[in-house]
Amino acid sequence: MKRKIIIDCDPGIDDSLAIMLALSHPDIEVVGITIVEGNCPVEMGFENAKKVLKFMNRLDVPIYVGAHQPLKREYINALDTHGSDGLGESFLDSVAGYEQDMDALSFYSHILRQEQCSVIAIGPLTNIAQLIQQDKEAYDRIDTLISMGGCYKSHGNCSPVAEYNYWCDPDAAQIVYNAGKEVHMVGLDVTRQIVLTPELLENMKQRNAYVGDFVEKITKFYFKFHLEWEHLVGCVINDPLAVAYFIDPSICSGFSSYVQIETQSISIGQSIVDDHSFYRKPSNAYVLTQVDVDKFFDLFFTCLLENIHECEKN
């Protein structure tokens, strides 16, 4: 039996790599992709998801448009990091049509009553928060909820203490952490260790030119961004780790804790991990702190390089 997932994302360069990993793993069935505002405006994210599915020859996977802006905060995109097209200025051909007959929330309400699904959220949590507000029964039916977001001991990437997905919509993140379901928090503490280096990219190109060239096309902007702003030779690919952790939880380890998201003040978007139980609240999250980087790349490369091939031009 394949494990069914919904990927809620803001594609986004690393979101695209996460989608590729999920679609290329034999034991995973992506029943739908929902788009949320984040790295890029939601309509651009919808277009980018189509481009990735076209590359994967998987336009059978439905994509649903979700929230256009955060619950309360003014929407601030991350196009400075992901390029003006949201996909590393690869400017891939657009894919016509593919409009769905419902929006993301309607899809969640429908599918969660039909199937046992997990949700891998790799963008701001606006869609998930709205699902909680509008259809808590459906939300409660989610099997496992994984969120790429937040940080524990690692510094933020939008402020000294805040990571983008929770900083972009802190109110949504707080609603999700308060909703009674354990959130597997795949934060910067572990994702920062997942660095696609020029050597690894060259290895990908040698082993599978079709995939390697595509990855190079969508990450070249990202490499430049990381060199300029983080003085890093390589790029941090956060989102695929959330998918890899779902596939093989032994890739990461962590601890259960109460987590609260700051929604005001200078530390807005901070994920406050109460690791010493000062607040005496029950745990609502499993916070990842360790990652086996080699194990991640073994899985990532095996799936992408051995299971994705150019389809015969029909």
* Helix 293-307 with 13-24: angle, nearest 10 deg: 70
Would you say 11 or 254 has its CB closer to ligand RIB?
A: 11
Interaction residues for ligand RIB, span 227-256 (CB under 6 A): 238-239
Binding partner of residue 164 among Ca ion, ligand RIB, none, CB cut-off 5 to 8 Å per kind = ligand RIB
Residue 65 or 208 having the CB closest to ligand RIB: 65
Is there binding between residue 12 and ligand RIB (CB under 6 A)? yes
64 binds ligand RIB, rule: CB under 6 A: no
Residue 14 structure tokens: 């690393």
Beta carbon nearer to Ca ion, 124 or 234: 124
State how far the alpha carbon of 21 is from the alpha carbons of 14, 89, 243, in Å.
Answer: 11, 21, 7
CB closer to ligand RIB, 48 vs 238: 238
- When the beta carbons of 78 and 145 are compared against ligand RIB, the nearer one is 78
- Cα–Cα distance measured from residue 173 to residue 262, given in angstroms and rounded to the nearest whole number: 9
With CB under 6 A as the contact rule, the residue among 165, 219, 270, 271 that binds ligand RIB is 165
The answer to the question of residue 122 lying near ligand RIB (CB under 6 A) is yes
CB of 189 to Ca ion, least distance (A): 17
Q: Which residues sit at the interface with ligand RIB, rule CB under 6 A?
A: 10, 12, 14-15, 38-39, 78, 122-123, 148, 157, 163-165, 238-239
